Protein backbone atom coordinates (compact mmCIF):
# COMPACT_ATOMS: atom_id res chain seq x y z
CA UNK A 1 0.00 0.00 0.00
CA UNK A 2 1.21 3.50 -0.79
CA UNK A 3 2.23 5.81 2.01
CA UNK A 4 -0.02 8.77 2.71
CA UNK A 5 2.51 11.28 1.39
CA UNK A 6 3.42 9.56 -1.88
CA UNK A 7 2.07 10.40 -5.30
CA UNK A 8 1.69 8.21 -8.34
CA UNK A 9 0.54 8.27 -11.93
CA UNK A 10 -3.01 7.07 -12.32
CA UNK A 11 -5.56 6.92 -15.08
CA UNK A 12 -9.31 6.71 -15.02
CA UNK A 13 -12.54 7.12 -16.93
CA UNK A 14 -16.26 7.61 -16.78
CA UNK A 15 -18.66 4.67 -17.09
CA UNK A 16 -18.90 4.77 -20.89
CA UNK A 17 -15.25 5.67 -21.51
CA UNK A 18 -16.03 8.86 -23.45
CA UNK A 19 -14.02 10.85 -20.88
CA UNK A 20 -10.62 9.61 -19.71
CA UNK A 21 -7.98 11.28 -17.57
CA UNK A 22 -4.41 10.84 -16.40
CA UNK A 23 -2.40 12.54 -13.67
CA UNK A 24 1.18 11.98 -12.54
CA UNK A 25 0.52 13.66 -9.19
CA UNK A 26 -2.23 11.60 -7.57
CA UNK A 27 -1.71 11.60 -3.80
CA UNK A 28 -2.34 8.51 -1.71
CA UNK A 29 -4.66 10.43 0.65
CA UNK A 30 -8.42 10.25 0.15
CA UNK A 31 -11.25 12.00 1.93
CA UNK A 32 -15.00 11.73 2.28
CA UNK A 33 -17.56 14.54 2.25
CA UNK A 34 -21.08 14.09 3.62
CA UNK A 35 -22.42 17.60 2.87
CA UNK A 36 -25.89 17.95 1.35
CA UNK A 37 -24.50 18.77 -2.09
CA UNK A 38 -22.07 15.82 -2.22
CA UNK A 39 -24.75 13.43 -0.95
CA UNK A 40 -27.17 14.54 -3.64
CA UNK A 41 -24.48 14.60 -6.35
CA UNK A 42 -23.17 11.08 -5.66
CA UNK A 43 -26.17 9.43 -4.05
CA UNK A 44 -24.45 8.90 -0.69
CA UNK A 45 -21.05 10.62 -0.11
CA UNK A 46 -18.12 11.86 -2.15
CA UNK A 47 -15.03 9.74 -1.55
CA UNK A 48 -12.39 11.57 -3.48
CA UNK A 49 -8.75 12.39 -4.00
CA UNK A 50 -7.56 15.98 -4.46
CA UNK A 51 -5.29 16.10 -7.51
CA UNK A 52 -3.45 19.25 -8.64
CA UNK A 53 -5.62 20.61 -11.45
CA UNK A 54 -2.68 21.41 -13.71
CA UNK A 55 -1.46 17.79 -13.49
CA UNK A 56 -4.60 16.32 -15.08
CA UNK A 57 -4.83 15.56 -18.79
CA UNK A 58 -8.37 15.00 -20.05
CA UNK A 59 -9.36 13.09 -23.19
CA UNK A 60 -12.93 13.52 -24.40
CA UNK A 61 -13.24 17.03 -23.02
CA UNK A 62 -16.12 17.74 -25.39
CA UNK A 63 -18.19 15.36 -23.24
CA UNK A 64 -17.47 17.18 -19.96
CA UNK A 65 -20.50 19.13 -18.74
CA UNK A 66 -20.18 21.55 -15.81
CA UNK A 67 -22.36 23.39 -13.34
CA UNK A 68 -21.35 26.17 -10.97
CA UNK A 69 -22.74 24.41 -7.88
CA UNK A 70 -21.92 27.20 -5.44
CA UNK A 71 -20.37 30.66 -5.43
CA UNK A 72 -16.92 29.08 -5.16
CA UNK A 73 -17.01 25.68 -6.89
CA UNK A 74 -18.10 23.69 -9.92
CA UNK A 75 -18.98 20.07 -10.49
CA UNK A 76 -18.57 18.17 -13.75
CA UNK A 77 -19.97 15.00 -15.29
CA UNK A 78 -19.87 13.07 -18.55
CA UNK A 79 -22.62 14.35 -20.84
CA UNK A 80 -22.92 10.90 -22.48
CA UNK A 81 -23.31 8.59 -19.47
CA UNK A 82 -23.81 10.95 -16.52
CA UNK A 83 -20.78 9.81 -14.49
CA UNK A 84 -19.71 12.44 -11.96
CA UNK A 85 -16.16 13.46 -12.88
CA UNK A 86 -14.96 16.07 -10.41
CA UNK A 87 -15.53 18.83 -7.88
CA UNK A 88 -13.29 21.89 -8.23
CA UNK A 89 -12.96 25.17 -6.33
CA UNK A 90 -13.24 28.00 -8.87
CA UNK A 91 -12.82 30.92 -6.46
CA UNK A 92 -9.48 32.68 -6.49
CA UNK A 93 -8.30 31.85 -2.98
CA UNK A 94 -6.03 29.49 -1.04
CA UNK A 95 -8.33 26.49 -1.64
CA UNK A 96 -8.11 26.74 -5.45
CA UNK A 97 -5.80 24.60 -7.55
CA UNK A 98 -7.11 21.14 -6.74
CA UNK A 99 -9.60 18.88 -8.46
CA UNK A 100 -11.45 16.35 -6.31
CA UNK A 101 -11.79 13.15 -8.33
CA UNK A 102 -14.04 10.33 -7.05
CA UNK A 103 -11.98 7.28 -6.09
CA UNK A 104 -14.22 4.99 -8.14
CA UNK A 105 -13.18 6.64 -11.41
CA UNK A 106 -9.58 5.45 -11.18
CA UNK A 107 -8.72 2.40 -13.26
CA UNK A 108 -6.89 1.14 -10.14
CA UNK A 109 -8.68 2.53 -7.07
CA UNK A 110 -6.35 0.72 -4.63
CA UNK A 111 -3.67 2.17 -2.38
CA UNK A 112 -5.53 5.21 -1.03
CA UNK A 113 -5.48 5.99 2.68
CA UNK A 114 -8.62 7.57 4.18
CA UNK A 115 -7.33 10.69 5.95
CA UNK A 116 -10.41 12.83 6.61
CA UNK A 117 -14.17 12.72 6.74
CA UNK A 118 -15.95 16.07 6.64
CA UNK A 119 -19.52 17.14 7.41
CA UNK A 120 -19.55 14.03 9.61
CA UNK A 121 -22.64 15.28 11.46
CA UNK A 122 -24.58 15.13 8.17
CA UNK A 123 -23.62 11.50 7.44
CA UNK A 124 -26.70 9.27 7.20
CA UNK A 125 -26.88 6.49 9.78
CA UNK A 126 -27.11 4.02 6.86
CA UNK A 127 -23.38 3.25 6.92
CA UNK A 128 -20.11 3.90 8.71
CA UNK A 129 -16.43 3.39 8.06
CA UNK A 130 -14.27 1.30 10.34
CA UNK A 131 -10.72 2.02 11.34
CA UNK A 132 -9.10 4.99 12.94
CA UNK A 133 -6.52 7.65 12.23
CA UNK A 134 -8.65 9.94 10.08
CA UNK A 135 -9.66 13.45 11.01
CA UNK A 136 -13.40 14.01 11.36
CA UNK A 137 -14.96 17.45 11.08
CA UNK A 138 -18.56 18.61 11.54
CA UNK A 139 -20.36 21.04 9.26
CA UNK A 140 -19.70 23.90 11.68
CA UNK A 141 -15.99 23.08 11.84
CA UNK A 142 -15.75 22.94 8.04
CA UNK A 143 -17.59 26.23 7.59
CA UNK A 144 -15.29 27.87 10.14
CA UNK A 145 -12.20 26.47 8.43
CA UNK A 146 -13.33 27.40 4.93
CA UNK A 147 -15.14 30.61 5.89
CA UNK A 148 -13.50 32.53 3.07
CA UNK A 149 -15.48 30.34 0.65
CA UNK A 150 -18.87 31.13 2.17
CA UNK A 151 -21.45 28.62 3.39
CA UNK A 152 -23.31 25.84 1.59
Give the count of domains, the chain. Answer: 1
Characterize 78-89 residue by residue with b for buried, 16 or more Cβ atoms within 10 angstroms of its Cβ, and e for exposed.
bbbeebbbbbbb
Residue 1 lies in a domain: no
What is the mean predicted confidence (pLDDT) over 124-130?
82
Give, for 141, the enclosing helix (H) or strand (E). Answer: helix 139-145
Query: Mind listing the pLDDT tens digit for each residue in 48-69?
Result: 999 999 999 999 999 999 999 8
Parallel/antiparallel/unpaired status of strands 64-68 and 73-78: antiparallel
Helix (H, G, I), strand (E, B) or coil at 117: strand
Residue 2 lies in a domain: no
Query: Mind listing the pLDDT tens digit for each residue in 73-93?
Result: 899 999 999 999 999 988 776
Give residue 149's pLDDT band: very low, low, confident or very high (50, 70, 90).
low
The predicted model scores a pTM of 0.83
Domain limits at 50?
7-149
CATH number, position 95: 3.90.1590.10
Bin 107: left if φ > 0, else alpha if -120 < ψ < 50, else beta.
Answer: alpha
Amino acid sequence: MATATSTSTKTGACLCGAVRFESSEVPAEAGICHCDQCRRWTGIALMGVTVPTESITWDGGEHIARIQSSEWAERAWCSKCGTNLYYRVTADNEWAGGTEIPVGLFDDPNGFVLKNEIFIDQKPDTFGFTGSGRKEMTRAQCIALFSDLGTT
